[in-house]
Structure 1
Amino acid sequence: MSSVVQGFSKSLAMTVLSEIGDKTFFAAAILAMRHPRRLVLSGCLLALIVMTILSVLVGWAAPSLISRKWTHHITTLLFFIFGLWSLWDAFTSDGEAEELAEVEAKLDADIKNNKETTKQNSKDDDDLKKQRQPLLAQFLSPILLKAFSITFFGEWGDKSQLATIGLAADENPLGVVLGGIIGQALCTTAAVLGGKSLASQISEKIVALSGGLLFIVFGIQSFLSPFES
């Protein structure tokens, strides 16, 4: 039970500090301003849950392919690398304004290149507001699919995904899954309900510094703790 709690707490803290103010956070916030929030939230959450489960499965299977000793050492190294990476971002990044502008530019370009889809989405929005669409039609809504694809591919290969894989290789997978999903749910819900205003009130530098220090603490703890054979 203690291993589950440890994996859960580490995964929850790491996810929250990694996801607040990143590109998928802003993408969810911007999409929620233009489309029904429940569809955007559903699409983003579904993508993040799938991504978290896939990452944990990869981390869980890693010790079967590589010795437990090596996965422990690799995970420890990853924590230090991600910690230094986050600290570097904190001191060199131009802040959330550039991140937000980049995401908005990409979404605006996508809208311009898909005018017909945008018109259809507007019609779907009107129908959804009247709550006349059947459940299956809502699930297959282009808005939900768009939120899913933007979030899923935005997170693929991201620092938080790699960190989740490393954490799952060294901690209880169930705890890592639960912590990751709850952390993702908290961040995504905050983004959809008021992410743009929330991000403007939270210093990205402080979040990056906190995340970097957290990764380094995890690395020190992993380095000092003996690996389980």
Structure 2
Amino acid sequence: MSLSVVQGFTKSLIMTVLSEIGDKTFFAAAILAMRHPRRLVLSGCLSALIVMTILSALVGWAAPNLIPRKWTHDITTLLFFGFGLWSLWDAFNEEGEAEELAEVEAKLNADMKADTGISKGNNKVDDELKKKQRPILTQFFSPIFLKAFSITFFGEWGDKSQLATIGLAADENPFGVVLGGIMGQALCTTAAVLGGKSLASQISEKIVLLSSGVLFIVFGFQSFLSTVKF
């Protein structure tokens, strides 16, 4: 394995773990796993995160081919510094993970009530008609899998970790970034599904934010001091 792959893997793994612990999608996976079969929740959440990681890395890999390499390098450097300062700001000004957890729980409770109402109405319809009315995807995948996938995928879209993955793939070996990102997502999602609420309550959110902020700034300095390869 080349040095560039190892470097991209290491950066991506550390960045992903620090970004995802205590994130909204982390809490969503934890709450869903308390209400539904864990294997379906884990497979749905992890599938969404793998797809998101690959898409983000592809965007980062393609960026230098669409715009000058120096521009993508400079943008990536600014992103790292920006995310680092953002994380440090959140560490000292965040209201706490309790509010974030409450927000995720409220949204999932609202979705569950809506699903319950729909299922009660459907009980009046015969099984054959109900099967025909089901969306095409639910005929091939479990509704729980699709729910976990959609909540995670759209929850991660435009998130700090996604943008950071794009920037990292533009500056590092994309293959290493994908491997590290998937490994980090797998670790965090498995932890969330197996006991995310209790785990998150034992980890200081401030420490996680401070660590990720420092890490992003270190990445920023490393990117700033590195030579652009044309």
TM-score (structure 1 length as normaliser): 0.91
1:7–1:175 Cα contact (<8 Å) kept: yes
Residue number in structure 2 paired with 1:219: 220
Q: 1:219 to 1:35 in 2, by over 3 A?
A: same
Which amino acid is 2:165 matched to? Answer: T
1:62-101 aligned at under 5 Å gives the runs 62-101=63-102
Residue number in structure 2 paired with 1:41: 42
Residue number in structure 2 paired with 1:26: 27
1:134-149 aligned at under 5 Å gives the runs 140-149=141-150
Residue number in structure 1 paired with 2:163: 162
Q: Distance in 1 between matches of 2:50 and 2:140?
A: 16
Which amino acid is 1:156 matched to? Answer: W
Residue number in structure 2 paired with 1:126: none
Residue number in structure 1 paired with 2:130: none
1:8–1:178 Cα contact (<8 Å) kept: yes
Q: How many residues are paired up?
A: 214
1:111–1:118 Cα contact (<8 Å) kept: no
Q: 1:179 to 1:112 in 2, by over 3 A?
A: same
Tell me how far 1:117 sits from its aligned partner: 5.2
- State the secondary structure of the residue aligned to 1:24: helix
User: For each residue in 1:177-211, what CA deviation from the matched residue of structure 2 results, as whole angstroms up to 9, or x when unmatched?
Assistant: 00000000000000000000000000001000000
For structure 2, the residue ranges without an aligned partner over 5 or more in a row are: 122-136
Q: Distance in 1 between matches of 2:62 and 2:144?
A: 34
Which amino acid is 1:70 matched to? Answer: W
1:37–1:192 Cα contact (<8 Å) kept: yes
TM-score (structure 2 length as normaliser): 0.90
Residue number in structure 2 paired with 1:7: 8
User: For each residue in 1:133-157, what CA deviation from the matched residue of structure 2 results, as whole angstroms up to 9, or x when unmatched?
Assistant: xxx9896110000000000000000
Q: 1:92 to 1:206 in 2, by over 3 A?
A: same
1:52–1:164 Cα contact (<8 Å) kept: yes
Residue number in structure 2 paired with 1:171: 172
- State the secondary structure of the residue aligned to 1:228: coil
User: For each residue in 1:103-159, what CA deviation from the matched residue of structure 2 results, as whole angstroms up to 9, or x when unmatched?
Assistant: 000001111222145679xxxxxxxxxxxxxxx989611000000000000000000
Which amino acid is 1:196 matched to? Answer: K
Q: Which structure has the larger Rg over C-alpha atoms?
A: 2
User: Structure 1 segments of 4 or more deviating over 4 A?
Assistant: 116-120, 136-139
Residue number in structure 2 paired with 1:50: 51
Identity %: 84
- State the secondary structure of the residue aligned to 1:114: helix
For structure 1, the residue ranges without an aligned partner over 5 or more in a row are: 121-135
User: For each residue in 1:36-69, what CA deviation from the matched residue of structure 2 results, as whole angstroms up to 9, or x when unmatched?
Assistant: 0000000000000000000000000000111111
Tell me how far 1:168 sits from its aligned partner: 0.2
Q: Distance in 2 between matches of 1:176 and 1:139?
A: 31
Q: Distance in 2 between matches of 1:6 and 1:107?
A: 38
Q: 1:213 to 1:107 in 2, by over 3 A?
A: same
User: For each residue in 1:150-172, what CA deviation from the matched residue of structure 2 results, as whole angstroms up to 9, or x when unmatched?
Assistant: 00000000000000000000000
Residue number in structure 2 paired with 1:206: 207
Which amino acid is 1:171 matched to? Answer: E
